Structure 1
Amino acid sequence: MGKPLSVGIVGCGAISGHYLATLDRLSGVRLAAVADLDRSRAETVASSRPGVRVLAVSELVDDTDVEVVLNLTVPAAHAEVALKAIAAGKSVYGEKPLAATVADARKVLYEADAAGVRVGCAPDTVLGTGTQTARQAVDSGAIGVPVAATATMVTPGHERWHPNPDFYYLPGGGPLLDMGPYYLSALVTLLGPVVSVVGASSRPKSERVIGSGSRAGETIPVSTDTHVTGVLTHRSGALSTLLMSFDVAATRSSPIEVHGTEGSLVVPDPNTFDGDVLVREIGEPDWRRLEVSAGYRDAARGYGLAEMATETEPRASGRLAFHVLDIMESLLSSANSGRAVSVESTCQRPSPVPLTSIAE
């Protein structure tokens, strides 16, 4: 692999802890610098990591020792930070979504291509043994030709546990843009890109009550739809049914199921890296667990970034993230218009991950 990939983090909020834990144990990447609008948060990160410098955002993106900017800012700032890094000649790996809008995301990819730098984007959960073992089963023909899939994520709402949940209920938030990237990235990994969608959405509550923290009991307005459902037509011909909701108490549905002409798969939660994959072929009396057969062992957030040290194009790529964002915008457009919407973008189905360690 040569020398480790030198990384600078912009944004040292809660999600950064997950990435830092991964960076600390991978030899292929090296944390060089950190930046945050709240300098004290960056100083806390650097204080336990000798040699890591605390910089302003502008200083970090211009720093010659930083090869890749890890963009962990809030979604509204994703494009702005990415474009600054790209203008400075840096590759970028960001948290999901790639940008707040397809228009902003398109500019990020255009500028990266023009500058000759790479763009990667979460979620990289699809690189773990859960989704990858399921993908290997699909590719091997274990369930025949894929016909359909379901993806289900329901919760009564993040305000019940999050002390500052406002952004979940503003435009650009909601269950689809918050959690959809995990499920849609998995569906594209399993079944390939999407060519059209039909969507519907609703907003049963106009207000939410914060349930924890110093603001407990405070009422916040809801200005985005909080229940979204739709049907996706994949280029392969398979149909996926998606349900994303902040309005439902619970479900017994599997996070993802894939159904083929010869059998069905239960796929683990795409917000995690591992988990049991179950298969039931036609004529079998019950489900059986598949042995782990593909994916990065012991994967965690940051493995998509680590691939940028070894791969020309990371599997958790900007182009995959752009397609996923386009699917989500198209679903909301369809919900507003009441008509089917073509998804203009496409992407290559990411290559499979053999059963391995990132360090192997």
Structure 2
Amino acid sequence: MEKVKVGIIGTGTISGIYLEAPKKFSILDIVAVADIDKERAREKAAEYQVEKVYTVEEMLADPEIEMIINLTIPKAHMQVTMDALEAGKHVFVEKPLTIEVEEGRKVLELAEKKGLRVGCAPDTFLGGSLQTCRKLIDDGWIGQPVAATGFMLGAGPEGWHPNPDFYYQKGGGPMFDMGPYYITAMIHLLGPIKRVTGSVQISFPERTVTRAEDYGRKIPVETPTHVTGILDFESGAVGTLITSFDVKGGTSLPCMEIYGTLGTLSVPDPNNFGGTITIRRAGKNQFTEVPLAYGYSENSRGVGAADMAHAIRSGRPHRASGHLALQVLETMHAIHESSQAGKHMEIQHACERPASFPVGFSQDRQDLFDK
């Protein structure tokens, strides 16, 4: 299959794993990078042997480049994606799709008008662990799913992150930071969401940095730091998702569990591509481990972009779609809005449950992208 020539805009920390993607995904050919810091772009290009270092304008004007991977900061996602679409490029963007829901709608409307594709991270649901979980559910190992729980509970980033302030500003918080992994995984496993209810709070009005280099500095908190959402799925299942920066003593709760009429599935951390899967069927006394039936269990960021590239060539829908990402974004906003308004929030943007991969999908079986 003919390679898709790709340009990357944004060469910050996350760019490294994407620049390694052609080693794992033969359809991707990264031919250029661009960044507001041109020296940083040159360094990345040299490190990963990328031929061209462009300005954004030069990249969007290059007719050879078919697809842009947008790795800019979140507040720049909309404008860079819109500019790329206007230039006739397909776009795969790091999470979130945009900051605001209405911005996301405009992106997808322009893509549809131009006949172009938009994809979006996270793509961890395409990794070995969550694909195996999907097959277990689809094959009936736990019966009909009736409920799910997800927990992302921690003490906050001020103890380790070099610049933690943005986590406590508008657009930050634990739900917008980690919620995309959990909600995307739940839609992948259970299908689209129809309604949410939320309860949120700011537990501490300020945070104290405990990292040695900046010890004692105070950070004012502007966004909820403990967020609980109830998710009603179109399938009838009900999910509970709690994300928090306020759990100081740790937790023994699982990352995610799916409860069915015939058993319980323990799902690994949806922020990762691999992890241990266990299942306990009705009548059994303990959970037992299930081996992975798919590859890409290591850090495989870029698999979503590769899947989109294959879809461009074959004409099928891609899995980590902009529509999926927009429902995830709307869900996160709606959880916060529900708490403020004191009522259920109906999810307006529809999406399809992403197609699963065939068993055996791996680096050695990339032909299965399109099966």
* Deviation by residue 1:130-161 (Cα, 9 ceiling, x = unmatched): 11111111111111111100010011001211
- Could you say which residue in structure 1 is the equivalent of 2:38? 39
Matched, 1:177 2:181: no
Paired residues of 1:162 and 1:210 also in contact (CA < 8 A): no
Matched, 1:356 2:365: no
- After superposition, the Cα gap between the structure-2 partners of 1:280 and 1:288, relative to the gap in structure 1 and judged at 3 Å, is same
Q: C-alpha distance in 2, partners of 1:243/1:298?
A: 26
Deviation of residue 342 (structure 1)? Answer: 0.7
Deviation of residue 296 (structure 1)? Answer: 4.3
- Could you say which residue in structure 2 is the equivalent of 1:147? 146
Paired residues of 2:181 and 2:271 also in contact (CA < 8 A): yes
Q: C-alpha distance in 2, partners of 1:168/1:162?
A: 10
Q: Which one of the candidate residues 298, 313, 316 is aligned to 2:317?
A: 313
* Deviation by residue 1:79-129 (Cα, 9 ceiling, x = unmatched): 111000000000000101100010000000000010111001000000011
Matched, 1:284 2:289: no
Matched, 1:322 2:321: no
- Could you say which residue in structure 2 is the equivalent of 1:251? 251
Q: C-alpha distance in 2, partners of 1:24/1:290?
A: 28
Deviation of residue 225 (structure 1)? Answer: 0.6
Paired residues of 1:296 and 1:353 also in contact (CA < 8 A): no
SS in 1 for 2:280: strand
* Deviation by residue 1:36-76 (Cα, 9 ceiling, x = unmatched): 11112101111134452111112212221211111011111
- Could you say which residue in structure 1 is the equivalent of 2:272? 272
- After superposition, the Cα gap between the structure-2 partners of 1:214 and 1:60, relative to the gap in structure 1 and judged at 3 Å, is farther
- After superposition, the Cα gap between the structure-2 partners of 1:51 and 1:324, relative to the gap in structure 1 and judged at 3 Å, is closer
Aligned residues: 359
Deviation of residue 22 (structure 1)? Answer: 2.3
Q: Which amino acid aligns with 1:206?
A: P
Q: C-alpha distance in 2, partners of 1:50/1:178?
A: 31
SS in 1 for 2:350: coil
SS in 1 for 2:110: helix
Q: Which amino acid aligns with 2:189?
A: L
- Give the structure-2-normalised TM-score: 0.93
- Give the structure-1-normalised TM-score: 0.96
Matched, 1:261 2:266: no
Aligned Cα root-mean-square deviation (Å): 1.4
Paired residues of 2:32 and 2:51 also in contact (CA < 8 A): yes
SS in 1 for 2:310: coil
The structure whose residues are more often helix, as a share, is 2
Q: Which amino acid aligns with 1:201?
A: V
Matched, 1:347 2:354: no
Gapped regions of structure 1 (runs ≥ 5)? none
Deviation of residue 297 (structure 1)? Answer: 5.4
SS in 2 for 1:14: coil
Deviation of residue 252 (structure 1)? Answer: 1.0
Q: Which amino acid aligns with 1:292?
A: L
Q: Which amino acid aligns with 1:73?
A: T
Q: C-alpha distance in 2, partners of 1:210/1:67?
A: 44
Q: Which amino acid aligns with 2:29?
A: R
Q: C-alpha distance in 2, partners of 1:50/1:15?
A: 17
Gapped regions of structure 2 (runs ≥ 5)? none
- Could you say which residue in structure 1 is the equivalent of 2:54? 55
Q: C-alpha distance in 2, partners of 1:337/1:68?
A: 40
Paired residues of 2:124 and 2:301 also in contact (CA < 8 A): yes
Q: C-alpha distance in 1, partners of 2:259/2:50?
A: 51
Deviation of residue 277 (structure 1)? Answer: 1.2
- After superposition, the Cα gap between the structure-2 partners of 1:277 and 1:220, relative to the gap in structure 1 and judged at 3 Å, is same
